[in-house]
Amino acid sequence: KMSEKRLRNIAVYYCQRYLVSGGKLTEHLNRRLYREVTDAEERAGFAALIPKIVANLSDLGLVNDREAASARLRTALRSGYATGAAVTVAARGARVDPSVVSAELEIALTEALPELEVDDHESTEAALEQAALALKRARRGPYRTGTQDEKTRRRDAGWLQRRGFRMEAILHALDIDPLEE
């Protein structure tokens, strides 16, 4: 049976297991309420308690939007997303404002991609190097262990496109001559 104490215990347990933001915790608690409480009035009463629980856990340090966003951002960068796409993915995943994620970008880039040897992370050279690094980590493109033919080159170009890289970076990373293609 759901109670205020049980809802708080669910929140604390979730915060102990995961690095969580306020938005993510709110979403989790609402999902649990929807699953466990069938009466709409009762569910609305418990839903009104959620902001207070989230604020209290945030004051205690169990909920941290900045840390949750930074962790999601580092994961997105490591898995081969371009900088802009990684910010969007991290903001959506952590349920925080993109400006919070953007503030963590410099630190996340140096922690997640130490191989990236560019001073200005907004430059074109950084995007080119980041695309090549994404291919290397995923063992795609010129770093593919099997044979590389036209079909695999198209797949690798599509893979980079879906991760937010621009065509210039894709062509450079895959060593494709734009005049030839």
**8 A C-beta contact, residue 50 and residue 26:** yes
pLDDT at 124: 86
Q: Return the residue matching tokens 């839903």.
A: 47
CA–CA dist 11, 5 (Å, integer): 10
pLDDT, average across residues 117-124: 77
Residue 117 has a pLDDT of 79
Q: How confident is the model at residue 178 (pLDDT cuts 50, 70, 90)?
A: low
Name the percent of the chain lying above pLDDT 70: 97
pLDDT score recorded for residue 179: 52
Instruction: Give the CA diameter of the chain.
Output: 68
The per-residue pLDDT for 120 is: 73
CA–CA dist 25, 135 (Å, integer): 34
Contact 156, 141 (CB under 8 A): yes
Q: List pLDDT tens digits, range 65-81.
A: 999 999 999 999 999 99
The two structure tokens encoding residue 19: 């690095």
pLDDT greater at residue 139 or residue 116:
139
Helix (H, G, I), strand (E, B) or coil at 173: helix
Mean of the pLDDT values across residues 138-164? Answer: 92
Average pLDDT for 58-65: 96
Q: What is the pLDDT of residue 177?
A: 58
Mean pLDDT of 86-99: 96
CB-based contact 87:101 (threshold 8 Å): yes
- Closest C-alpha to 117, from 109, 34, 105, 172: 109
Q: What single letter denotes the amino acid at residue 112?
A: A
User: Two tokens at 127?
Assistant: 């995007």
Q: Is the dihedral of CA 35, 40, 42, 46 positive or negative?
A: positive
Checking if the pLDDT of 180 tops 60, the result is: no
Say if residues 8 and 51 touch (Cβ distance below 8 Å).
no
